[in-house]
Every structure is written in C-alpha cells, then in structure tokens.
Amino acid sequence: MGFTWFKRKKKTSVSAPEGHVIYAIGDVHGREDLLSDLVTKIEADLQSLGKGLIGNLVFLGDYVDRGLGSKGVLNHLLVLEKKLGEGEIWGDVYFLKGNHEEALLHFLEDPGFGEQWLVHGGTETLLSYGVSPPKDQSDAHEWREVSMALKKALGGEHRSFMERLQSSVILGDYIFVHAGLRPGKPIEQQTEQDMLWIRKDFLSSTSRFEKKVVHGHSPKKLPYNDHRRIGVDTGAYITGVLTAVRLEGDKVSFLHTGEN
C-alpha cells in the first residue's frame, strides 16, 4: 500500500492544533504524589503562557501497578477529569489505555492470569485496594477469591474508567499512544495490541508515520525527541521523575517533577 503521505508536499514542521497547547504525561505507575505535583506544575505553566491558549491534557496510560498508590492515582484522575471539564482555559482531557490497565482487566476476567500479572507489578495494585495476594500462587481457588475481592474493592467507577480508556488520539500532527506503532503499517491499520505493547520493533525502526508519535511504555532516564517520535516515560515509580511533554505550535519542551 505504501506511505502515500510522503508523495504530498512536505510540511516544514510538525505542529499542535492552532490555539492549543498539549501536555502529554508519561507512565504514572501508582505514583500519586508525583502526579499531583506535575499536574500543579502544568496548570501553573498554562496560566503563565498568557496567550489565550486552550490547554489539552493527554495521559499516556499505565496508571496502575509497580508504585504503591494505584487506587489513589485513579481517584486523582477521576477528580481531575471533572475539574478540568469545568475550567475556562482547559479543553479536552484524554486518558489512554496502557498495557498494565489491560493486564488488570484481564485478571478480573481470568484469575488464572494472576501469577503473571503479579510479576509485572500487580502486587502493589492489590495492596493499594486492600486486597492480599494469594499465599499459594499455584492455588486456582485462591486466585478466584483474590479476583473477586479486587472486583469488589475497585467498585464500578474505577473499573468503568479503565474500560473506557482510549487506544490512541490524534491532535494536529501528533498521534498519542501508549507504546508505539507497528512500522510499515498505516495508522488506520494499527492494532490495539501493538499500541499497548510494542517496543523493540517500534523503537529501532527509522520509518515515519503520517503523524509524529508521542508515547510512553519504554522508560529512559531522559525524555526522547526526534523526527518521528517523542518518548515521555522516565520510569517514575523507580526514578522519582514523572515527565510531560508540552507541544505548542511547532515547539517541543518538557516539564518534570521529582528528582533530577
């Protein structure tokens, strides 16, 4: 099929929508403390621009697991969603699904997935909801009990929030996804599996897409920016640094909180 967009007249730059500034926040992983600090910093930054810009927030997924405050993170995001919807300088807020949200939802439907989920940080999520992991991880009955207990502890609001998360969003010349895109495939043919899980094939490729990709999922000490992608995951749960990219016109800059 080919990348027909390269046959068109090339744009000289990649831009956010006119009149808007976009803040995209990387993987939070249970660090409610860092999330609260970074959102405060973003709100102050938007106020300081003083240009009549409309702010848009994009959360790139992986709100749960690994850190100790998964429940608090989801509570914070739900409050923030309502608060920003009532603000005058804020436009839309977008919440994307990460592979860790998919894994949690998988466990709710298939308790047999629990042992694998715990390896990737599910223990901390269970504990944040007051649920203890099974004493015997080979006991299927115990896993069913833990899954039922987590469903009850989550309640309808938190589960509904995770079930309505988006796989991607396009704003201006950018596409926002959790993990990345499959090289060689147009955006409309990308699968949710790749958008949530892809890593090496996406990171090592030099192929460009119709839009510049903004993503998390692959933690690095510093955010990354080149002609094809912006990586915003700075491993907050272990580094103490939660990062957001600010996109205004054709300008790209970063805000962070926690330790340098």
* Residue 70 belongs to a domain: yes
* 3-state DSSP assignment of residue 221: coil
d(CA 41, CA 226): 25
* Residue 10 belongs to a domain: no
* Residue 12 belongs to a domain: no
* Residue 121 belongs to a domain: yes
* Residue 9 belongs to a domain: no
- pLDDT tens digits in sequence order for the chain, 260 residues long: 333 343 444 555 899 999 999 999 999 999 999 999 999 999 999 989 877 889 999 999 999 999 999 999 999 999 998 887 666 678 899 999 999 999 999 999 999 999 999 999 999 999 999 999 999 988 999 999 999 999 999 999 999 999 999 999 999 999 999 999 999 999 999 999 999 999 999 999 998 999 999 999 999 999 999 999 999 999 999 999 999 999 999 999 999 987 54
* Residue 3 belongs to a domain: no
Exposed e or buried b per residue across 223-252, where buried means at least 16 C-beta atoms within 10 angstroms of its C-beta: bebeebbbbbbbbbbebbbbbbbbbbbeeb
d(CA 172, CA 232): 18
Instruction: Tell me the residue range of the domain where 95 lies.
Output: 19-258
Percent helix, strand, coil in the chain, to 5, is 40, 20, 40
State the total domains in the chain: 1
> Which two three-digit tokens encode residue 206?
């030099």
* Residue 82 belongs to a domain: yes
* Residue 52 belongs to a domain: yes
For position 207, which CATH number holds?
Answer: 3.60.21.10
**pTM for the full model?**
0.92
What Rg do the C-alpha atoms of the chain give, in angstroms? 19
Q: 25 with 60: CB under 8 angstroms? A: yes
